[in-house]
Structure 1
């Protein structure tokens, strides 16, 4: 059974619940695997730096660049090229701002802890970026979405490569997902 068929069999509430469950599983995997792939707590916590300037320049600004590029592509290309089967719309449409912030914060934290904090530090930038894109399986048969998620993965991974700071990659990921969720939530 295809992922789209499974998603279509769920109500919007059940779909959102499944997203939360999957993100909690990724978060748990990131936490557990960090104990196996880092020699000490100090090594792990060294990836958490609250440098406001770095977070702004390498997290927020790249996140905004990604969103602008995505919006330009959405405007220029046929909607069918960017259609994920309506899954993102079902997840974010009609949700409160608080619900969107909570879900997007969980997604950014869980995915960046696992993909940057564990996989990228253990297996390298390219491997982590490719695995990140593959995990977003519903985009694999949509060339524009696949290229977009690959670009985002490599771009955010590169920002982590430059800074070694999970706060940077989490900020960039949050910015992208939050702003695009707002576009979905408030579009007519």
Structure 2
């Protein structure tokens, strides 16, 4: 059975539980792996620094630019090229904005802690970027979507490399997902 068919069978409450459960698994993986791959659990503290300038330039402004490119691609390409089986619509379309905010924040934190914080820090930029794209399995059969998530993964990874600050990719990832979630939610 396809992922989209499974999601359609869930109630709104069950869908929310499953979405947060999946993010909890990623967070758990990040924490557990850090015990094995970091010299000390306190290595986490070296990955974060409060730099509003980087957060705005590389986080927020990059996210807005990426969303504008994504919207342009949505406008000029056929829907079948970018259809993920309706999963994003099922996740965002009938949800309150508060849910979209909290969920996309959870996704950004959990995925970036795992993929940039643990995997990229330990195994490198290229491996983490490719693995991040592959984990978004529903995009593998759609070349445009896969290339988009692969490009995005490499860009987020580069931003982390450049800033050496895990907060920045978290901010970028959050704003990309939140803004695109709003587009889906508010689209008539």
TM-score range for the pair, normalised by the shorter chain length: over 0.9
Q: 1:143 to 1:12 in 2, by over 3 A?
A: farther
Matches within 5 A, 1:91-170: 91-170=91-170
Q: TM-score, normalised by structure 2?
A: 0.95
Alpha-carbon separation, structure 2, partners of 1:165 and 1:42:
15
Deviation of 1:5 after TM superposition, in Å, equals 3.8
Deviation of 1:42 after TM superposition, in Å, equals 4.1
Per-residue CA deviations over 1:36-81 (Å, capped at 9, x if unaligned) read 2221244321111111011111111111111111110000001111
Alpha-carbon separation, structure 1, partners of 2:184 and 2:94:
9
Q: Note the aligned Cα RMSD (angstroms).
A: 1.3
Q: Identify unmatched segments of 5+ residues in structure 1.
A: none
| Conserved 8 A contact 1:30-1:118 | yes
Q: What residue number does 1:55 align with?
A: 55
Question: How many equivalent pairs are there?
Answer: 188
| Conserved 8 A contact 2:34-2:41 | no
Q: Identify unmatched segments of 5+ residues in structure 2.
A: none
Which secondary structure does the structure 1 equivalent of 2:47 belong to? coil
Alpha-carbon separation, structure 1, partners of 2:75 and 2:17:
30
Which secondary structure does the structure 2 equivalent of 1:49 belong to? coil
Deviation of 1:12 after TM superposition, in Å, equals 4.2
Q: 1:114 to 1:73 in 2, by over 3 A?
A: same
Q: TM-score, normalised by structure 1?
A: 0.95
Q: What residue number does 1:44 align with?
A: 44
Alpha-carbon separation, structure 1, partners of 2:98 and 2:7:
24
